Copies of this chain bind each other. A is one copy, B any other.
Amino acid sequence: MDESVLNCEHGLGVSLRDATGDQCPPTLASALNYAVFPGGARVRPQLCLAVALANGNPEPGLASAAAVAVELLHCASLVHDDLPCFDDATTRRGKASLHAKFGERIAVLTGDALIVAAFQHMARAANTVSDPTRLASVMGIVSAGVGAPMGICAGQAWECESRVDVSLYHRAKTGALFVAATCAGAAAAGVPTPGWVELGNSIGEAYQVADDIQDAIADPDSIGKPTGIDIALDRPSAVRELGIDGAVKRLEACITRGLDSIPACRGRSQLHAVVQKHSNRFFPKGIKRSAA
């Protein structure tokens, strides 16, 4: 396991130990751990750390805290997204979804507590940060990626509207937290963030397209969650719009656009390699790629 993964798992462990500490109701404590461990690919926190590293990572404590916060918020969104009133998914990451295992009340509270834990973890990083104004900037970026008007909550809320701008919906539901990851990494390193928006947007869009492809063709057992949701819930999907081949082409184009967008920085080539490595995982097994 590489260093940035270990860094992230360690930070998540610290945050969870705090949240499940003395006097935590035992079921909530179990559910919090269940929601975060074992994790998925941890793409977002690694992207955050990789951007900070590519820019010299002068505030490693802050970059790590931002990475952990982004992942906690992602886990929170999965728990709430699986709830009966949304996707009503009974499996996630190859095991029972959180509400299927612990009940709906604990699932709502687990999501809430993870959101709070994310911000609490960043606030605690203040002790390790030499420039405390940078902390507020990172927090602002992270919160914009999850709240309203343009973060995950807003993205989910588009599912409740009769008229939806699909691009806006995907940018908010999926892209915003990737943008938060790249821009928080940049802000933690003290470099201007606008140059890092496109990387987050492109990888976010790639991730969404990959998810659409999986939903259309993958075997639920192999990916550990239900498939066929887009058609069942009549959701917009790159596969429904473009077919499988067209969706794969769009996925490739998103990744290329993201890679090309990486601003000049001292660790550009290493970052390029990290993004490439994670992007390779977006292609479902057996899929035909134009580049291959």
On A, residues with C-beta under 8 Å from B are 18-29, 32, 76, 80, 83, 85-86, 103-106, 108-109, 111-113, 115-117, 119-120, 122-127, 132-133, 135-137, 139-140, 143-144, 146-151, 153-154, 156-161, 168, 172
Contact = CB atoms under 8 A, between A and B. Distances in A.
Contact of A148 (B83, B117, B133): B117
Contact of A116 (B105, B123, B146): B146
A135 B28 CA distance: 28
Contacts of A80: 108-109, 112
- Going nearest first, the 5 A-B pairs with the smallest beta carbon separation are A126-B136, A24-B149, A116-B147, A120-B143, A28-B157
Q: Which of A24, A27, A119, A139 has the most CB of B within 10 A?
A: A119
Contacts of A19: 147-149
A85 B108 CA distance: 9
A116 B161 contact: no
A290 B135 CA distance: 51
A149 B86 contact: no
A143 B118 CA distance: 9
Contacts of A18: 149
A132 B133 CA distance: 6
A154 B108 contact: no
A33 B120 CA distance: 25
12 contacts: A27-B157, A27-B161, A28-B153, A28-B160, A80-B112, A106-B160, A109-B156, A112-B146, A113-B153, A117-B143, A119-B119, A126-B136
A178 to B, nearest CB: 17
Contact of A159 (B21, B105, B149, B154): B105
A29 to B, nearest CB: 7
Contact of A108 (B108, B143, B144, B148): B108
Q: Which of A23, A135, A148, A160 has the most CB of B within 10 A?
A: A148
